[in-house]
Each structure stands twice: as structure tokens, then as C-alpha cells.
Amino acid sequence: MVSTSTTVAASGRQYLPVTTDISSPNQSLLPLTARVNSQQHLEVGGCDVVDLVKRFGTPLYILDEETLRTACRQYRQAFEQHYPGESLMIYASKAWNCLAVCAMVASEGLGIDVVSGGELYTALQAGVKPDIMYFHGNNKSIDELQMAIEVGCTIVVDNWLELRTLVSLAGDQPIRIMLRLTPGIECHTHEYIRTGHLDSKFGFDPDQLDSVFAFVSQQPQLNCVGLHAHIGSQIFELQAHQDLTGVMVQWLSKAAQYELSIQELDIGGGLGIRYTESDDPPSIEAWAKVICEGIVAACRAQNLALPKLIAEPGRSLIGPACVTAYTIGNQKVIPNIRTYVTVDGGMSDNPRPITYQSVYRSVVANRMSEPLTQKVAVAGKHCESGDIVIKQADLPETQAGDVLVVMATGAYNYSMASNYNRLPRPAAVLVHHGEANLILQRETYQDLLRQDCLPERLKEF
């Protein structure tokens, strides 16, 4: 069990250092090291957030190393405890792919799931070994496939075109592949992040199983080692994942009929995290237990040997480990309607609210002990009416220059960040035991022009 800060709703105050037992980081709104110091400032990783802002500026991603490493270890240990066969945890790096994050999760014994040549290149430069890298994607380019073949990572094949392309690209050394299949399982999450239902752009349809297995079995250039499925993201239900284990073992049994020696089952990821007080995700251990016991039971029923079991957590590893700090600017009070509090970032550093209608919680890092006296909308600085970071936030009385911290921003914030309105992307720091290290430099205006080209005829206007 670990302890962290939680809401004291009855007191009308912010997230004070009240000890609450939780099972895993994905159940915490704040990083595990978060506390309020003697100055009534928020600390993360032993670092005063107000001091971090003075040193590195805002917006600023603050990544807590202890929270990330704890989540990695809990996943690995849970599968070791509940699965009698071999297992491997793989970080779904699309959640946040950079050198430091890839290196940290690899140092915890996890593999890396990549979905582009850029993510593959980054993971390789971080020192991740190709034999624990899995390359996903529904429309990999020829160049990306050739890169994956050359480095020797496992390619998760998504469709017929990719399958036939790999056959044409194969040389003397067989290409290590898995097959991604659509299980036809619905789960309650945003429609944009549901991937396991039949109407999905990902994977071979279930009615193609026989033809796919027959084709692969006749291709000596392809070493088909496993099957993959993923039902979606930010999922709180355990039943959907339990159902998936049974479906995947049925596929495993069918593959054997075509003399395919499937050694691995990749169950995907999808475990949700707590973004608000009302969110109640299962713990990492509870999720792992359902997966492991489901695979074991289904294999026993089919009289099959246990495969190597792979899972691909992303959001639940990195999401709770990070917060984003902003500097508050102006306020706009519309009597009897709304008060807007503006920050110096928004949809360019966190596009999830405008894209998925995602909800976040926030605190004012330099006013942690003050009562929550105003209900406001936290607005971004972009030239879009829809650039609202939080539609309804309970905050103390704030003023320009205060530091607003938005929680659980590790997943799909930096990785989906843009230069909309020509805003430079923020910096990111890794905090641990009172030390802060820059892991992503803040972009400059010069960086924004790096790829611009100005034709000669336009230089004299």
C-alpha cells in the first residue's frame, strides 16, 4: 500500500496532505510523492512546484519518477504473482514517448510498444533492446516496415496489405510477427478510444481468422509468434478484459489447427486512471489478476500450454505520474454566468479536453491551504472558444502570477501537443528525491522556424 494526498471536500480546501491508503498509482489523483510543505506550497518528488516554475517557466510538465517506477513494478510483480507462465510488460509509449521515459521503463524490465518510425527510433536511442520492442500501427509505411525489419523488433501485423508487403520485403531471415485481431468486445469508454469492437480501423476481423492463419502458415518468411488484441483505453470494467481472455485462447486453439506455433498472447492494455474524485478504476493488481486467471482457466479448458502473456499498459503507467504547471493570467467575470481564469497554455499542451471532452482537476500550488471560494472555468490562451482546460474548477481566490497545477497529465498531453497559434511546446522535468532534471527542453521561437522554407521570390516583397 502507498500513501498520497487526497481531497478534503468537507473542509472546502484544496488537496491537503491527508494519508489515504490506495492500491496502485492509477487510483491516485496526484503523484505518490505529492505533499504540502511548510510554505503551503505543493511539492512533487521533493521539489517545490513554485520553485520549479521559477527555474523552468510555464507551462511545465512535472514527471515524478517514483510514481512511474512504482506503477512499472506493480504491473510486473502482479503478473509474476498471478501467472504461472512467462510474462512481459510492455509500455505503450504513444502515451508519452521520449528518451527519458523509454529509458526509465526499460530499466524497470519493461519492453516498449511503438506505433511509428519516430517512436521506434526514440526507443532505440534510449537504449531499449529490439527483442523487447513491438511495432504497432494500422498503416505502417514501407520505410517504417523496413526499419523494423532491419533492427529486428516484432511487427504486429494489422491488415492484409501489411501482411503481403512483409512477404515481399522478407529476406533470408524470417520476420518476427504477431497478428492483431479484432475481438468484437464493447467497453464503456469514449468512442475515439474504443478499439476492440467490430467497427474499428484496427486489426483483422474475426471472420478472417481462417484465411489469415492459412496464408501465414504458408509463408516461411514470416515467423508468427503471437496474437494481439486491444479493446480500448481508460476502461474501468474488469468483465470486458475477462471476456477477452477467453476469445484470445479460442484464437490460440484455432491457430494450432494451421500448425502455427503461437508462443505469445498480447492482451493489450486499457486500464483506466483517476482523473476526478468520482473515478473509481480497479487497481493494477486487480486488473492483472483477472487477466492472468482468465488466460489460465481458458488454456486449461482447451488443454493448451500456457503462452507467454504480454500486456501493454500506457496511460495507467505514465498518466498519474505527471502534473502540468501553468501561470495564471487575467480573469473575466461575467455576472450571474461564469468567471474565466486564464492560463498560459491550453489545447496545445493538453488537447484532450477539446478532443475527448476529458475532465481534469486542479489546485493552486502556491495557495494550498486557502479555502476554495470560487467556481471558475480554466481557459487556455489559444484563439479558440473551445480552449477550456477545465469547465468547472473549485479554486481559492486567485490573482495573476499564481501557479495552477492540473493533475494526471502524463498520458497523451506532451505526446499530442502541438504548435497551434505558434506556441512553443513546454519543457518537462523529472523530479526525484528533491532533484529536478530537464528531460525535454522548452521549444523556442527559433525552433518554430526550423522547418520553414521561404522561396527566394518571397524574400523581396
Give the position of cell 493448451. Answer: 304
Name residues of the chain where pLDDT drops below 70.
Answer: 1-21, 185-199
Calpha distance 392→332 (Å, rounded): 14
Cis peptide before 396 (omega within 30 of 0): no
Given CA atoms 147, 150, 154, 155 in this order, what sign does their dihedral have?
positive
> What CATH architecture is 42-64+322-448?
Beta Barrel (2.40)
Which active-site residues does the annotation give?
383
pLDDT of residue 10: 37
Calpha distance 130→448 (Å, rounded): 32
pLDDT of residue 253: 94
Q: Are strands 427-432 and 403-406 parallel, antiparallel or unpaired?
A: unpaired
pLDDT of residue 232: 86
The domain locations on the chain are: 42-64+322-448, 66-318
Backbone angles phi, psi at 172, to 5 degrees: -75, -30
Calpha distance 257→74 (Å, rounded): 36
Residues 165 and 173 sit within 8 Å (Cβ to Cβ)? no
Nearest Cα to Cα of residue 431 among 5, 104, 22:
104
Q: Which CATH number fits domain 66-318: 3.90.870.10, 3.20.20.10, 3.30.300.30, 3.20.20.80?
A: 3.20.20.10
pLDDT of residue 206: 87
Give the position of cell 467497453. Answer: 187
Convert the pLDDT of each residue in 31-62 to its tens digit: 999 999 999 999 999 999 999 999 999 999 99
Q: How far is CA 201 from CA 97, 158, 355, 398, 435, in A?
A: 23, 9, 19, 45, 43
Residues 396 and 372 sit within 8 Å (Cβ to Cβ)? yes
